Amino acid sequence: MPLSIVTALVRNLIRVPAAVLRSRVAKDAEVLALRHENAVLRRQIARVRYESADRIWLAVLSRLVPRERWRQVFAVTPTTLLAWHRRMVSRKWTFTERRHPGRPPTAPTVKQLILRLARENSTWGHRRIQGELARLGYSIAPSTVWEILQSSGVDPAPHRSGLTWRQFLTTQAHGIIAADFLHLDTVALGRLYALIFIEHGTLRLHLAGVTAHPTAQWTVQQARNLSMTLGCRMDSLRFLLRDRDTKYTDASDAVFQADDVQILLSPPQAPKANAICERAVGTLRRELLDRILIYNEAHAQAVLAEYIRHYNQHRPHQSRRQLPPDSTKPPAPATVTDLQAHRIRRQPLLGGLINQYQRTA
């Protein structure tokens, strides 16, 4: 409370004993004189301006005067006096000691980690960063990641436009494997071709091989190699989805048909019919091939193999609850909140083109 208000209250309280000690006749005469003086002043002043000390003093005195006499005693209405008293009560009983903070803010260490991931990975958007945090054991909403990036002035990553055709035969997705050819351009402007396969159920990606001259015989041999690599998992596959490229022949189809896999042909010039494989090809281009120069077949084979190993064993996928394709266990609930006790270690791949993050003790 300001010093001026306290001084005014003390001065008014000192006058109370003096008024009590006076005779009744003198007090009545003084009251009549004061009332007449107030009436004269009200005729001369349009509106009386009260300070905080005046309001407090009148509100206290109103408790000593019967309410039916308030209109004759005070220059304000009873409603104003009651409002002043309620204001005094509200200032006293604020209950600040019982108040609790609302939603706790994001820990500064988590904000720093989000900004670090955005800085070290220019193509990662807020959802990709949220997926990486979930894999590291930090549960946070994508909207929170977006707000942190926006408030820090970090521009959003390029929008990933992709095909949105629903999975072919959704109820049998775990039994479908798709194939497609991917072309690569070398430093010397030569063209290479990579044959990839992807399992719809787990999104596990397979590199069959890379060659500059993809022939029908080469495709048959890669189909045999894939069949041997999958081993017993071939028993769970029921369909092979491919386009009508002439490099696929009856001989290559026979390799899969020997394991009771039925061949499904996509319509001509309809990449959406093989959307999952086409999207995997787009991921390979955006995250790898568009950011590196390929020298020859051996270099392309090594680069693709290393990235596909990262893709299958580490990279989180939204459709799999931020799990990589090779993971079979659900993610453990996030319990880590102190980054000082659990540091995040970066493991660069392909010369730092791709980054993996691990939590260390």
Question: What average pLDDT is seen over the chain?
Answer: 80
Which has the higher per-residue pLDDT, 38 or 145? Answer: 145
Q: Which CATH superfamily is domain 170-320 in?
A: Ribonuclease H-like superfamily/Ribonuclease H (3.30.420.10)
Pick from 128, 115, 114, 140: nearest CA to 287: 128
**What is the rounded CA–CA span in Å between residue 243 and residue 274?**
8
Q: What percent of the chain has pLDDT over 70?
A: 73
Higher pLDDT, 283 or 271: 283
Cα 131 from chain centroid? 9
- Is 22 a residue whose pLDDT tops 60? no
Taking the C-alpha atoms of residue 196 and residue 206, their distance in angstroms, rounded to an integer, is 6
In this prediction, residues 76-94 reach a mean pLDDT of: 72
Q: Is 240 exposed, middle or buried (0-12, 13-18, 19+ CB in 10 A)?
A: buried
Domain ranges of the chain: 3-96, 108-160+331-360, 170-320
How open is the CA angle 86-89-90, to the nearest 5 degrees? 85
Contact between 288 and 303 (Cβ < 8 Å): yes
Neighbour-count burial of 73, counting CB atoms closer than 10 A to its CB (0-12 exposed, 13-18 middle, 19+ buried): middle
Give pTM, 2 decimals: 0.55
| HSE toward the beta carbon, residue 201, CA cutoff 13 A | 15
